[in-house]
Amino acid sequence: MRTHSSQESSRNPHSTTNTASKATILVALFFLSPLLAGIPIATEEENSMPSSTRQMSPDVAVTELDVTTPSAMVGGTPTLAPVNHVIIVGSTNQGGSTAEGNVTLKVNGVVVDNRTATITPGGQVNSVMYWDASSLSGTGYEITASWVPSSSSSDSDSSNNQMSLSGVSVAEVESASDIADSLPSDGSSLARALWEGAITVVNTGNQPVDVTAQLTLTPSLGGSSVSLSSSTEQLLPGSLADPPTPANITISFDGSGLEGDYTLSGSLLVSGSTQGSVTIDSRIVSFVALRASLIPANNRNVDPGSQATLNFILQNSGTVEDNFTVTQSNNSDPTNYWVNITDQIHDSTNLLNVDAQQTHAIQIPVEVPADAANGDAVIVTVTVQSDTAGYVLSASTMVMAGGTFSAEIFQNHSHSMGENFANITPGSPEPCNTP
């Protein structure tokens, strides 16, 4: 048996030290294990949550600054009308406890309105604020909405407590612009007929304006110009928070007497306290022998409770095929409709095609209600518009409830001037005998 001398042990002092250290660590872990088991470990979801969500103090953020009264972006500059403005300020409490404080509205650093607010955790408050700019004008205004916590409250993040609108101008602006139209394009061919179209316009200022189209057709070979008829539309201004609503200006002209090339040109007249204009790009159009006719259906008497079909005849008398949109309208009570077909019979996605020198029957089914009184009548109107040339045709037919009756009267006297003669003295009735 081998024995170890004390000298061998002394040659390896680290072995004894390491053994003692390991024993000490194991003893420490034995006593600390119950304590470590009670410490909660943050989940991955909790670690990813922002501090503003985990914290329990209030944190109000100003999230909206909306000017809701007449205003517009003019050349990239927010331009407000000189009126008393209504400004909506939205504030949201992103913290974990109720926030108390004031919503303030400042213009160039001066408080112009103030609201006291209490916002629960996760809640939002929309404060209606006012700024009277009716006597102001000029540029360089800055509108700032701020949240100021009360002395009894707090706010964990002051960096989101305000929102500003800079570079604001105050001035009256009367302007409008065309955004779409159904005018014939450059080089297009038009029928020698009535033409209807529209120009879609929108108010681009902050004042109400009236807009009218001033368009003319000028013959390329010289001669008198033809003015287009136009409706006048009033365009109300929108706001920075709510854009204005577009409107359609209806335009029309009678091209039945036109032939050859014409230049279509003109402008939009914008009228308010002053007048301005918007130029419409000129274009060359040609009037050719595209033509159709619409023959109305015969007027009909239909017994109550019965049905009938009205045949409107569309005839293409031109030398090329044409496509048409087809609509119907009638004056029957919407709650007791006589016409059994949709208003839009053929739209732009389902055009009616009629070859040259051909006809097409547009059938309108009708049903007279069983409770209709004899003599009740409805006018049915069919309108077609050429997709190729833009001209419009319209025809109407009357449908009356009740049957049609006819009668003949035969005289049985032997007057010297013949049996078709009757001598009736004023004030003296003559009997009319019927078999």
- Which pTM value belongs to this model? 0.61
What stretches of 220-274 adopt beta strand conformation (E)?
Answer: 226-227, 229-230, 232-235, 247-254, 260-271
Note down pLDDT in tens along the chain; length 435 residues.
343 443 444 444 444 445 545 545 554 555 555 555 554 444 444 444 455 444 689 999 999 999 999 999 999 999 999 999 999 999 999 999 999 999 999 999 999 999 999 999 999 999 999 999 999 999 999 999 999 999 999 999 999 999 999 999 999 999 999 999 999 999 988 877 888 999 999 999 999 999 999 999 999 998 899 999 999 999 999 999 999 999 999 999 998 888 899 999 999 999 999 999 999 999 999 987 767 889 999 999 999 999 999 999 999 887 778 899 999 999 888 777 899 999 999 999 999 999 988 999 999 999 999 999 888 999 999 999 988 777 889 999 999 998 655 556 555 556 666 666 666 666 666 665 545
* Residue extents of the structural domains in the chain: 52-170, 176-288, 292-401
- Into which CATH architecture does domain 176-288 fall? Sandwich (2.60)
Distance of CA 197 to the CA centre of its chain: 19
**CA 26/CA 22 separation, integer angstroms:** 6
- Single-letter amino acid, residue 322: D
Please determine whether the domains at 52-170 and 292-401 fall in the same fold group of CATH.
yes
**CA 129/CA 134 separation, integer angstroms:** 15
For domain 52-170, give the fold: Immunoglobulin-like (2.60.40)
Q: Which CATH number fits domain 292-401: 1.20.1440.230, 2.60.40.10, 2.102.10.10, 3.30.365.10?
A: 2.60.40.10
The residues, ordered by sequence, that sit 6+ positions from 312 with a Cβ below 8 Å of its Cβ are 294, 295, 296, 297, 361, 362, 363, 364, 382, 395, 397
**CA 185/CA 195 separation, integer angstroms:** 14
Annotate 109-120 with b (16+ C-beta within 10 A) or e (fewer): eeebbeeebebe
Q: Which of 327, 394, 329, 337 is nearest to 366 (CA)?
A: 337
Side-chain half-sphere exposure of 200, counting CA atoms within 13 A: 7
The two beta strands, 275-288 and 260-271, are antiparallel
